[in-house]
């Protein structure tokens, strides 16, 4: 954590996260707000069973990763789960091994920030639910700028650094080329292929060893 004087000089991002698990499936919802007030909404579907607490933790992990990929250095995380917030703040002890793994993973991501705060908000004040309800009231407003839908097809070990937001395609080779270029400046010998790769790679970034697609913030 930084001092209050240092925090004042760093633009602060805000992320509202919510996870849930029902008989119809598990998902996470993330609302990311830039210091300028721009908002990005993400809905993430898990194609494997999770408990409600696991879904909440996955939502927190996803929210922090998205904030990091957008360039956040100071972050406030809002979540309505008293258990999750208190475990992350150290008020409650995470006794289960899996919950301990999530706490460790979240702390690893938070350590990449210069300052952060984890806040509990009442369920009724959850901005994620409010924003989704507003979108759902007019489906014609849903487009790529309004909400991004993501899917995780298999369970990951959070402590190992999972690839939550890799972009799926028929062949993995193009992703490997982008990763090798961004991490090791590895380019093809063919000038035409090099030109295409550099243009395509400009739309991606590497955060915490993982490939993310850059997003353009739009004012809501």
Domains annotated for the chain, with CATH where assigned, are 4-163 (3.30.420.10)
List pLDDT tens digits, range 125-180: 666 656 655 544 443 444 444 567 666 665 654 444 444 443 443 444 577 888 88
Instruction: Specify the pLDDT at position 163.
Output: 42
List pLDDT tens digits, range 54-105: 989 999 998 999 899 888 999 999 998 999 999 999 998 888 888 999 999 9
Instruction: Specify the pLDDT at position 130.
Output: 60
Instruction: Specify the pLDDT at position 199.
Output: 85
With 0.75 as the threshold, say if the pTM is over it: no
Annotate 162-194 with DSSP letters as a single string: --TTPPP-S-SHHHHHHHHHHHH----SSHHHH
Instruction: Specify the pLDDT at position 132.
Output: 56
Instruction: Judge residue 67's burial from the number of C-beta atoms within 10 Å of its C-beta, 0-12 exposed, 13-18 middle, 19 or more buried.
Output: buried
């Amino acid at each position: 954590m930084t001092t209050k004087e240092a925090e004042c000089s760093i633009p602060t991002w805000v992320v509202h996260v919510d996870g849930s698990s029902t008989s119809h499936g598990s998902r996470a919802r993330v609302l990311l707000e830039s210091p300028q007030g721009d908002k990005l909404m993400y809905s993430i579907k898990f194609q494997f069973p999770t408990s409600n607490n696991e879904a909440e933790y996955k939502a927190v992990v996803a929210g922090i990763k998205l904030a990091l990929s957008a360039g956040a250095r100071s972050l406030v995380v809002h979540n309505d789960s008293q258990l999750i917030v208190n475990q992350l703040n150290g008020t409650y002890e995470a006794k289960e091994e899996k919950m301990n793994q999530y706490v460790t993973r979240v702390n690893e991501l938070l350590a990449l920030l210069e300052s952060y705060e984890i806040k509990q908000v009442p369920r009724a004040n959850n901005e994620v639910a409010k924003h989704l309800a507003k979108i759902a009231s007019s489906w014609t407003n849903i487009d790529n700028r309004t909400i991004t839908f993501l899917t995780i097809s298999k369970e990951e070990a959070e402590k190992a650094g999972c690839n939550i937001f890799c972009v799926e395609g028929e062949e993995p080779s193009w992703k490997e080329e982008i990763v090798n270029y961004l991490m090791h400046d590895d380019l093809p010998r063919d000038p035409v292929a090099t030109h295409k790769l550099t243009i395509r790679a400009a739309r991606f970034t590497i955060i915490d060893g993982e490939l993310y697609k850059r997003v353009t913030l739009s004012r809501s």
